[in-house]
């Protein structure tokens, strides 16, 4: 059998890098799509240099997506690129809609025009449940997004379903609950906390400012979740799946575990900054992934505690190795 080829959009992001690791291990030819930038940001895929092919295209530019698929002729496309940070979606709602909503249609149009046999994965989100209408949330739970990001993801989800039903494209939507790792962006709360713990432990900061400590999320490990994306595209029929751990934890519990791992008491360091509270909050997410377990045979392997401790350990090691540049040794405050 010939080597399968996959295109990953969002290859420079957290999930793109884990999915590339996973597919390369399976013997795939992997082509990562990057948008043009004046400086490279390949930190998360540095270890894959020489194994990955990189092509430039942009979710804002339809022709670039068509040309990408024409050149590469993939069997699978994983559409992971988006503006993924919820607070930014209130600052830049239109741009978020362009990337996170219309970008999906542009990618699907490229599939439709170039090769309808391509199998397509869309990175949908538990943020679509927003003001959750039931607990736990399943594939049938009504959607009620609470941010421009969530609204854009609802569009991306339904356009994926629509292209499946309109054109018979093998298009799947993975409704993934929050998933984290040492490669998570530092603006997201898990990594903000584990990075903050490491900086406090190493004497580079004293405090960590956070917003809503009572928000609850169903947090899993990104390395486990990319396997579910691949499994969806190996099935006889395309479908949509919730991917989650089934557990929910508060930001407060995340702080307790992370600070304790470094021998610190979180209450001595965490301060609540009302400016970090969101205009509309998603209070509670908890997923029911029993369909994924039944049909895909998927289940998470890393527990919440293991995940947070893995992230704290990685940040302690990274910050331990860091030294302030000469002439700039002043104690740094939180970002
Ligand atoms: P991430 O780390 O923020 O990565 C986002 C990626 O999208 C980056 O590679 C970014 O490229 C790329 N991108 C943004 N705009 C683009 C454009 N116009 N053209 C091409 N590429 C563009 O996100 P992630 O955590 O890996 O998440 C992957 C996907 O899953 C996202 O769609 C996210 O919304 C969704 N999702 C994530 C979670 C989660 O908990 N992580 C849960 C549910 C759904 P640059 O490096 O150039 O910025
Ligand atoms: N980022 C951040 N920073 N969040 C904070 C803070 C803080 O200082 N303090 C409290 N929180 C709370 C937020 O209010 C939110 O309720 C929760 O922590 C999680 O925030 P994030 O880690 O930013 O993630 P998110 O749930 O908004 O969005 C992530 O998960 C979605 C899936 O549900 C992103 O990865 C999205 O792209 C993804 O779709």
Residue 88 forms part of a structural domain: yes
pLDDT in tens, 249-279: 999 999 999 999 999 999 999 999 999 999 9
Burial 44-77 (b: 16+ CB within 10 A, else e): bbeebeeebebeebbbebbebbbbbbeebebbbb
326: pLDDT strictly greater than 70: no
pLDDT at 332: 42
Residues 164 and 84 in one domain: yes
**How far apart are the CA of 8 and the centre of ligand 1, in A?**
11
Q: Would you call 90 helix, strand, or coil by DSSP?
A: helix
**Which residue in the list 84, 126, 127, 241 is annotated as catalytic?**
127
pLDDT at 2: 85
Please give the Cα distance from 183 to 18 (Å, whole number). Answer: 9
On the 0-12 / 13-18 / 19+ scale of CB atoms within 10 A, 18 is buried
Q: Which domain holds residue 209?
A: 186-218+249-281+304-332
**How far apart are the CA of 217 and the centre of ligand 2, in A?**
8
- Mean per-residue pLDDT for 294-313? 98
Residues 132 and 198 in one domain: no
What CATH number is attached to the domain comprising 308?
Answer: 3.90.25.10
The token pair at 4 is 């399968």
Is any ligand 1 atom within 6 A of the Cβ of residue 218?
A: no
| Residues 237, 173 contacting (CB under 8 angstroms) | no
Average pLDDT in the chain: 96
33: pLDDT strictly greater than 50: yes
Helices (H), 115-261: 148-167, 189-201, 222-233, 251-261
Residues 127 and 191 in one domain: no
For residue 292, the 8-state DSSP code is: I
pLDDT at 1: 66
Residues 274 and 150 in one domain: no
pLDDT at 322: 60
- Mean per-residue pLDDT for 136-161? 98
Residues 237 and 96 in one domain: yes
What CATH number is attached to the domain comprising 239?
Answer: 3.40.50.720
Domain boundary among 195, 227, 243: 243
| Residues 3, 27 contacting (CB under 8 angstroms) | yes
Residue 287 forms part of a structural domain: no
Please give the Cα distance from 5 to 69 (Å, whole number). Answer: 11
| Residues 178, 285 contacting (CB under 8 angstroms) | yes
**How far apart are the CA of 188 and the centre of ligand 2, in A?**
6
Residue 30 forms part of a structural domain: yes
Residue 298 forms part of a structural domain: no
Q: How many domains does the chain have?
A: 2
pLDDT in tens, 51-71: 999 999 999 999 999 999 999
Residue 291 forms part of a structural domain: no
pLDDT category of residue 330 using cuts at 50, 70 and 90: very low
Residue whose CA is closest, atom 3 of ligand 2? 189
**Which residue in the list 149, 221, 225, 241 is annotated as catalytic?**
149
Is any ligand 1 atom within 6 A of the Cβ of residue 289?
A: no
pLDDT in tens, 192-247: 999 999 999 999 999 999 999 999 999 999 999 999 999 999 999 999 999 999 99
**How far apart are the CA of 69 and the centre of ligand 1, in A?**
19
| Residues 145, 86 contacting (CB under 8 angstroms) | no
Residue 101 forms part of a structural domain: yes
Is any ligand 2 atom within 6 A of the Cβ of residue 240?
A: no
Residue 289 forms part of a structural domain: no
Is any ligand 1 atom within 6 A of the Cβ of residue 41?
A: yes
Q: In this structure, what are the phi and psi dihedrals at residue 270, rounded to the nearest 5 degrees?
A: -85, 130
pLDDT at 335: 36
Is any ligand 1 atom within 6 A of the Cβ of residue 150?
A: no
Residue 299 forms part of a structural domain: no
Residue 139 annotated to the active site: no
pLDDT category of residue 328 using cuts at 50, 70 and 90: very low
Residue whose CA is closest, atom 7 of ligand 2? 210
């Amino acid at each position: 059998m010939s080597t399968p080829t996959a295109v990953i959009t969002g290859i420079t992001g957290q999930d793109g890098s884990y999915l590339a690791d996973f597919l390369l291990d399976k013997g795939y030819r992997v082509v990562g799509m990057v948008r043009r930038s004046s400086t490279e940001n390949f930190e998360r895929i540095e270890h894959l240099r020489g194994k990955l092919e990189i092509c430039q295209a942009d979710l804002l530019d339809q022709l670039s997506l068509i040309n990408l698929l024409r050149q590469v002729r993939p069997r699978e496309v994983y559409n992971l690129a988006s503006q993924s940070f919820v607070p930014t979606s209130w600052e830049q709602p239109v741009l978020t809609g362009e990337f996170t909503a219309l970008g999906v249609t542009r990618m699907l149009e490229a599939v439709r025009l170039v090769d309808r046999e391509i199998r397509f994965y869309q990175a949908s989100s538990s943020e679509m449940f927003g003001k959750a209408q039931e607990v736990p949330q399943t594939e049938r739970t009504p959607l009620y997004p609470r941010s421009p990001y969530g609204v854009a993801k609802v569009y991306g989800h339904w356009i994926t379903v629509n292209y499946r039903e309109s054109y018979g494209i093998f298009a799947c939507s993975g409704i993934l609950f929050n998933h984290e790792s040492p490669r998570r962006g530092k603006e997201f709360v898990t990594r903000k906390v584990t990075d903050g713990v490491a900086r406090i432990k190493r004497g580079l900061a004293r405090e960590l400012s956070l917003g809503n400590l009572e928000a609850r999320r169903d947090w899993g490990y990104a390395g486990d979740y990319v396997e579910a994306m691949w499994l969806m595209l190996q099935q006889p029929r395309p479908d949509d799946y919730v991917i989650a751990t089934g557990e929910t934890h508060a930001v407060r519990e995340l702080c307790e575990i992370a600070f304790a791992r470094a021998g610190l008491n979180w209450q001595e360091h965490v301060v609540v900054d009302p400016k970090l509270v969101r205009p509309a909050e998603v209070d509670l997410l908890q997923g029911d992934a029993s369909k994924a377990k039944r049909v895909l045979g998927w289940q998470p392997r890393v527990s919440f505690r293991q995940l947070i401790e893995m992230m704290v350990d990685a940040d302690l090691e990274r910050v331990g190795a860091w030294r302030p540049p000469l002439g700039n040794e002043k104690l740094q405050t939180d970002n």
